[in-house]
Amino acid sequence: MNFNTPKTERITFLKDYYLNNSPMVLNRDLMPWKCHKSLYLYVEGWVKNSGAPTVRLRRSMAEAYMLENMKPVICNKELLAGQPDFSPFDKDEQIQFEEYQKIYKSGMPPIKGSADHTSLDYEKLLAKGIEGVMEEIKLKLDAIDIYDGRQAEYYEFYKCCLIELEGVLKLAENYRNHALRLADEAEGEEKKEYLSLADVFSRVPAKPARTFREALQSVHLFLYSLFGIYSAGRPDQYLYPYYEKDIREGVMTQLEAQELIDCFYLQYMNNMSAWATSSLMIGGRNKKGEAVENPLTWHFLTAIEHTRIPDPNVGLCVTDETSKELLRYACELIKSGCGQPQIWNNDGITKSMLERGYDKEAANWFTHSTCVEISPIGCSGVSITSPYINILNIFLESFKRCDDTMTFDEIYSSFEKELESNLKGILLREHLFQLERKRNTTDPVRISAFINDCIERGLSNDSGGARYNDIQPNMLGMTNVIESLNVIRELVFNQKKLSVGEFNEILNKNYEGSEDILAYIKNKVSHFGTDTKETNSLAKRVADTVISILGKFTTFRGANFVPGAFSYRNHEYHGSYTPASPDGRLSGDVLADGSCPVQGYDNQGPTLSLNSTNSWEPLRFLGGISVNVKISPSVPTDRLMALIEGYIKQNGMQLQFNVVDTEILKDAQKNPDKYADLIVRIGGYSDYFTKITRKLQDDVISRSQN
């Protein structure tokens, strides 16, 4: 079904323009939300509404003030618009901004715990429009019994939604008016394009979308208005009715549809910072469990080829009904070195969600919320990476108290007790964060208008109004723990090369003077990642321990703690303070980059490495895993397809690939200007290789290439 739609001159122009002019690309320190002019306006709105009766109402008034007063930004040749204003402050504004920053940091209730990272009910946005949703909310507001003070919380929630949604409507109106002003100054084709964009904004997001372009613009503007990290869900499904109608009626050609999707992707260059990522998912199955593979699935894959940018973080869901043709095209994209798409086991994830209490529709209708965290679309109050937990550091704390009299099982038991003891304090802090979210809110309240069942319950997402409210703590360094236990068992108990005390002394000295032991660990020990029964069973034991201990806890809202085991880019930071470990890792070095074996230890081919990863049943870790595989560009496409299909059949969960020759990566370190658009996969997301830190670059290079 590949249409071979070519990349247009417009897309080439816009990408080049954004690469050379977008502040989000040029300045790696900028945040994607509440930054520069928007932060200025948000705090100004907070100050102006000091008389609001509650913090939440005051926040919503500040959100609306920001949205109503943001300067619209439209670049030449854009078919979809919506990006932050980074024009410089004048002298007086800069002075005021510095004061507002102080208020934001110390004069406003702080944001606690995980924010955003969810996917909304975009079908509702497109079918009803914001005005239709506001009418639904007004009916709920009118039904409140003013004589019953217990309903005040419902009143507050509905008012907050209306205030913020009105702000989004004003934002769209401002974009429409700006497009008309630009049209007045333009001529010919350029004038027509500005008028066409103004016509789109006169319709959406206020009213139901009628066309494919209106639908894309409605989704993009609402996401832009949030200044956060939100998934676009499964757009090849919810956008398909608009696409099919436009194609059938001759309103739009396939080439025009492709160009619109390419423009949708390129807007992520203006709205995502260096350390943030956002996502969308395609393929797989629909809410009823029926296989999905339509022309839009192909268009969204083709957009990866046309744009070659890190965001959006595209996931392709694979089932036993996925066509060979589609999987082949995905593999060809992967081999081209663009870092996309990720591969997901759709049916395995659905089965795992059903086992954890999700209903059938939610278990079919899921997405990776940004990097690799799994949550249901349009009904999720799930808190992801809440928090990151360095379990290697916890293991090292337990191991340094072990002595020569202890058996291996006693050493393992010591780790279990240390982990549970630490989790008591860590998760109590998470409960308190959730309590603070309920009091003062974290996310913009308007997202709750598109999360079931918030409107029905009269409660925001932060207050527990969503249907599902699991919390997903993330286990950093889990495979370092597995490998450390493996090395201890081998050197201390099997080969008796060292005692526990001697090993701890070596670790205290960071292997200085024991380079022979370090070399032996790296080169002679049979490592996790080589598919041996002994290491795989140890991995399963560690994963079982994590699941078992978390199962003893209940969240603030009475839901489950569901772990993840990926790093994003935090394996660098958390490794920086972690002492040397028995797996051969030196003090301060990065941790393992997600859910795969320790860097360099899976050196007997990808099949054995993936078998090892599957041995600990990662589908239980709905909080997300990231399995990085580094392969040579010369690997045949059929071989890559077989690897993916075999991994899925063996109940694998997620796969992502780096397809760049190691020598090219080393040359890129020396000559970064030659490789400005070189993209690599990190711990669940993609990034420009030359713009990540040296430690992360070395981490990517150190992975075993197959």
Is the model more confident about 242 or about 671? 242
Model pLDDT, residue 34: 58
Banded pLDDT at 683 (limits 50, 70, 90): low
659 shares a domain with 586: no
pTM of the full structure:
0.95
Assess if residue 174 is contained within a domain. Answer: no
348 shares a domain with 329: yes
* pLDDT tens-place string over residues 515-574: 999 999 999 999 999 999 999 999 999 999 999 999 999 999 999 999 999 887 788 889
- What is the chain's percent helix, strand, coil content, to nearest 5? 55, 10, 35
Residues 642, 644, 647, 648, Cα dihedral to 10°? -110
582 shares a domain with 647: no
* pLDDT tens-place string over residues 95-125: 999 999 999 888 888 777 667 789 999 999 9
Assess if residue 31 is contained within a domain. Answer: no
Model pLDDT, residue 32: 46
485 shares a domain with 356: no
- Helix residue spans in 371-523 (DSSP H): 391-399, 408-440, 454-457, 478-488, 500-508, 515-523
500 shares a domain with 431: yes
**Domain termination residue (choose one: 573, 608, 623):** 623
Model confidence at 687: pLDDT above 80: no
Assess if residue 618 is contained within a domain. Answer: yes
**Whole-angstrom distance, CA of residue 262 vs CA of residue 14:** 10
**Whole-angstrom distance, CA of residue 659 vs CA of residue 277:** 20
Enclosing domain of residue 653: 255-368+627-706
**Whole-angstrom distance, CA of residue 612 vs CA of residue 593:** 15
551 shares a domain with 521: yes
Name 259's Cβ contacts closer than 8 Å, sequence gap at least 6: 8, 10, 11, 79
432 shares a domain with 503: yes
Cβ–Cβ < 8 Å for 629, 609: yes
Going from the C-alpha of 206 to that of each of 129, 218, 412, 415, 577, the distances in angstroms are 5, 8, 59, 55, 50
Average pLDDT over residues 459-485: 96
Spell out the SS3 assignment of 344-388: EEHHHHHHHHHHCCCCHHHHHCEEECCCCCEEECCCECCEEEEEE
**Whole-angstrom distance, CA of residue 233 vs CA of residue 240:** 13
How many domains, in total, are found in the chain? Answer: 2
Assess if residue 274 is contained within a domain. Answer: yes
Model pLDDT, residue 114: 67
Is the model more confident about 700 or about 173? 173
Model pLDDT, residue 689: 82
Question: Within 10 Å of residue 9's Cβ, how many Cβ atoms?
Answer: 10
599 shares a domain with 523: yes
Assess if residue 426 is contained within a domain. Answer: yes
Length of the chain as a residue count: 706
Banded pLDDT at 328 (limits 50, 70, 90): very high
417 shares a domain with 530: yes
pLDDT exceeding 90 applies to what percent of the chain? 78
Task: Give how far the C-alpha of residue 57 lies from the chain's centroid of Cα atoms, to the nearest Å.
Answer: 29
Average pLDDT over residues 248-256: 98
**Whole-angstrom distance, CA of residue 149 vs CA of residue 482:** 55
Going from the C-alpha of 353 to that of each of 85, 332, 339, 600, 675, the distances in angstroms are 41, 31, 27, 33, 41
701 shares a domain with 655: yes
User: 509-514: which pairs have CB atoms within 8 A and are 24 or more residues apart?
Assistant: 510/579, 510/580, 510/586, 510/587, 511/580, 511/584, 511/586
Q: Return mean pLDDT, the chain.
A: 93
Assess if residue 288 is contained within a domain. Answer: yes
Model pLDDT, residue 24: 65
Instruction: Report CA Rg, the chain.
Output: 26
Cβ–Cβ < 8 Å for 481, 545: no
318 shares a domain with 419: no
Assess if residue 637 is contained within a domain. Answer: yes
Assess if residue 464 is contained within a domain. Answer: yes
412 shares a domain with 509: yes
Average pLDDT over residues 605-611: 92
Helix axes 37-48, 91-102, angle to 10 degrees: 60
**Domain termination residue (choose one: 564, 588, 623):** 623
Average pLDDT over residues 243-265: 98
**Domain termination residue (choose one: 623, 646, 676):** 623
Cβ–Cβ < 8 Å for 133, 247: no
